[in-house]
Structure 1
Amino acid sequence: MKKHFQISPVLAQTIVDAARELIGKEINFIQLDGEIIASTDPNRIGSFHEAAFLVKDKRMVIEVSENDTFKGTKKGINYPVMIDHEMFGIIGISGDPEECRSRGFILTKITELLIKEQMTVRKVHSLDELRSSVVRMLIFENQKKDEIINEHLHQLQYELEENAFVAIIHLHGLNNPSSLPVNMHDILLKQGIKLFTYLFPNQYAIIGNESQYKAVFQSLETYFLSMDIRCSIGIGSVGVLEELVKSYKHAKLALKYAISKQSLLCEYTKLELEMIMENIDPHTRNDYVTKLVGELTEEEITLLHIYYKNNLSLKKTASDLIIHKNTLQYRLEKIAEKTKVNPRDFYDSVKLYVALLLQTL
């Protein structure tokens, strides 16, 4: 095991995101000093979590039955993250303790698995372990090309250029494991991708050279479409190796957008308005989204996404939804009644479009 191992905010965020996929609850990762460094609720990142000190002192699970019983703490259950008798942090589920308790075992096992995996990236043997090790050191630890990485790359017979990028492939169909392609390993190698790692529960992170950028994704797009593999790909920015952590974050943002638009592929460099919105205060963002589309159903939200995807075309939207044009007009009128904003009016439509974009960030 690696001595003095530190859990980075990037790795912690990956852990809470993976846990939420399976548990369906808000998840927080708290450092031993009480700071929340990762959360599925962006508003809580950087805040103080007083109950973490109680978990740290008692080295046991602590349940909180009421909000604000401790400073910065919501009701839920908080677990010490213990590996080889050493505490690395605290992870918690927000919600009614009675509902959360049954999910605790899954949460702690996911956390332990992902941390152990990262702790052992330097102890590798097979080529698959080598490629995974390089990717994880670069995107989770912000590791530079040191002797260990160079040795791994030499064994893989792969030259990593000075400029590279990260992309994330998200496989749809999590609730039906049999629908996930079991040969992603071979698929990626055949497309010339030698650096990739599996991210629990349904994603792969890849690193490619700048010179591969266009060819790789044209090849992947063609293959996935021809094989009818349901997935979305978020492509991060190109930068020097020391900035691959940033490229990974950009890839996650692009992936969110691709999933929300039901697109196969999205490049961060082509997100213009979205990049500006990313810097808007989270509280302002949430208030705007709630005000504009908070009353809409999931079906109505999907309708609007398809409506904007088709550039406000009633004919194309009705065709995609397999409904009559008059039915679509009726549903848009209902949305206008709920939101007090008319999606068929240009200026009002922009307001709704912005709200939908903010909702995906």
Structure 2
Amino acid sequence: MMNVPEALAQVIVDRMKEIINQDINFIDVNCIIIASTDQKRIGKFHGGAQTVLKKKDMLVITSENQYEGTRKGINLPVYFEDTIVGIIGITGSEEEVSKYGKIIQSMTEILIKEAYIVEQNKIERESQKQFIEEILFRIHEEDRDAIKMRSELLNIKLDIPRVVLVARIHEKTNKKSPKTPVINEKIYNFIKRFIEFDPQNFLIQSGMNYILILNENSVNDIKGWVENIHSTLLKEYKNTIYFGIGSLSHNEDELSESYQKARGALKVALSSKDLFYVDYSELDLEVIIDDLSDEVKKKYLHDIFKNMDERSLNDYMELLSTYFRNNGSIMKTADELFLHKNTLQYKLNKIKSVTGYDPRITRDLVVLFIAVLIYKSEQSGNPSML
């Protein structure tokens, strides 16, 4: 039998009072008032509820304490799936409150049913999230039969072509207030509305990331679909969302691999100022860098930039990144950085004197370009590299 939570019962009686402006009680099946618009009555025994439970019908109380702990009014059984789960009581004379009885009874039953559906959806969502995380993260290995059985129970087909996407909302460092759970839920529901057209599309939130598992057959143009989410979110919430797109998968092992690739692609997207999505299949040098250990990356930057402080390193990286993005054009780089071209030349000479590598020479340029990629990659996950 369903137990109506006290918090839900209190919401119901408060909402009903707004409609009819009468004191209302919610009594549980143990005949205890668990919610009331008269706070002094909460926790008290209600003798009339016993009669309602026995008769399964409305009870009119015509005088104070006609039954233990009662006042004048009407009391009606509240049903959920043909079972009484409580009693709703309206305080007042029969003439005042009888006209509201059936309406309040029906509205209470509707609110309880809606709350139950919401709770069941939460349970289903959490069960799907747990199963998908186990598949993607390989929290523990299960035998194939167990995986297959759980996927069938949760209606998650693992043998259809799927693509994993990992997304993250851009966090502005100057933003004073962090995202609250309410805002997180709004963004979750915003993204979810783009995938609800196919029951085999799934969305879970893991830390700062939103993980989308898409049925490849239902999304013909993933990049166009991603662009639509990005532009709509920017318009509605004034926030930028970044995506990493993984590889095509056909089973749970490949699904886990697709997730890892999507995560790597997202890392590249977050480190770039120009791209809000990155497809792992289109990466080349970034893939090699992503496979390097943190120790190797740290040593590479240290060998080139020695013991440079973070601020100076960041300034040089910004300059080099802009220089590479403009294919070595002094004029375009200077314009983008609001520098005189002679000042830019001076700064490039300074990089050469500090590192021993000249970004205007092809061989040296490659060394510095890799350093920029490593720095950007690690900045998205590990701000301190030197």
Q: TM-score category by the smaller chain?
A: 0.5 to 0.7
Secondary structure, aligned partner of 2:171: coil
Q: Which deviates further from its counterpart, 252-261 or 137-146?
A: 137-146
Secondary structure, aligned partner of 2:155: helix
Equivalent residue for 1:236, pick from 246, 258, 271: 246
The letter for the 1-side match of 2:327 is N
User: Which whole-Å CA distance do the structure 2 matches of 1:214 and 1:207 have between them?
Assistant: 14
TM-aligned CA deviation for residue 280 of structure 1: 4.3
* Residue of structure 1 in register with 2:360 after alignment: 344
Alignment of 1:224 onto 2:256: no
Alignment of 1:250 onto 2:261: yes
The letter for the 2-side match of 1:188 is I
Unmatched 5+ stretches in structure 1: 1-122
Q: 5 Å matches for 1:152-231?
A: 152-153=154-155, 161-173=159-171, 175=173, 176=175, 178=177, 182=184, 183-192=186-195, 194-200=201-207, 202-212=208-218, 215-225=221-231, 227-228=233-234, 229-231=239-241
* Residue of structure 2 in register with 1:292 after alignment: 304
Q: TM-score, normalised to structure 1's length?
A: 0.56
The letter for the 1-side match of 2:135 is L
Contact map agreement 1:134 1:195 (CA 8 A) in 2: no
Contact map agreement 2:248 2:258 (CA 8 A) in 1: yes
User: Which whole-Å CA distance do the structure 1 matches of 2:341 and 2:263 have between them?
Assistant: 36
Contact map agreement 2:191 2:229 (CA 8 A) in 1: no
Alignment of 1:148 onto 2:150: yes
Q: Which deviates further from its counterpart, 343-352 or 292-301?
A: 292-301
Identity across matched positions, percent: 25
Cα deviation per residue 1:213-262 (whole Å; 9 max; x = unaligned)? 66233222233235432232112222232222222222222122111222
Q: Which has the bigger relative contact order, CA under 8 A and spacing at least 6? A: 1
Contact map agreement 1:191 1:216 (CA 8 A) in 2: no
Q: CA RMSD in A?
A: 3.0
**C-alpha distance 241-224 of structure 1, shift in aligned 2 (>3 A):** same
**C-alpha distance 232-310 of structure 1, shift in aligned 2 (>3 A):** farther
Contact map agreement 1:162 1:241 (CA 8 A) in 2: no
TM-aligned CA deviation for residue 160 of structure 1: 5.3
Contact map agreement 2:151 2:158 (CA 8 A) in 1: no
**C-alpha distance 343-163 of structure 1, shift in aligned 2 (>3 A):** same
**C-alpha distance 356-248 of structure 1, shift in aligned 2 (>3 A):** same
Count of equivalent residues: 234
Alignment of 1:136 onto 2:133: yes
User: Which whole-Å CA distance do the structure 2 matches of 1:282 and 1:185 have between them?
Assistant: 32
The letter for the 2-side match of 1:251 is A
* Residue of structure 2 in register with 1:311 after alignment: 327
The letter for the 2-side match of 1:191 is F
* Residue of structure 2 in register with 1:268 after alignment: 280
Q: Which deviates further from its counterpart, 160-169 or 297-306?
A: 160-169
Q: 5 Å matches for 1:53-202?
A: 125-141=122-138, 145-153=147-155, 161-173=159-171, 175=173, 176=175, 178=177, 182=184, 183-192=186-195, 194-200=201-207, 202=208
TM-aligned CA deviation for residue 278 of structure 1: 3.8
**C-alpha distance 153-134 of structure 1, shift in aligned 2 (>3 A):** farther
Equivalent residue for 2:349, pick from 318, 329, 333: 333
Unmatched 5+ stretches in structure 2: 1-119, 379-386
Secondary structure, aligned partner of 1:344: coil
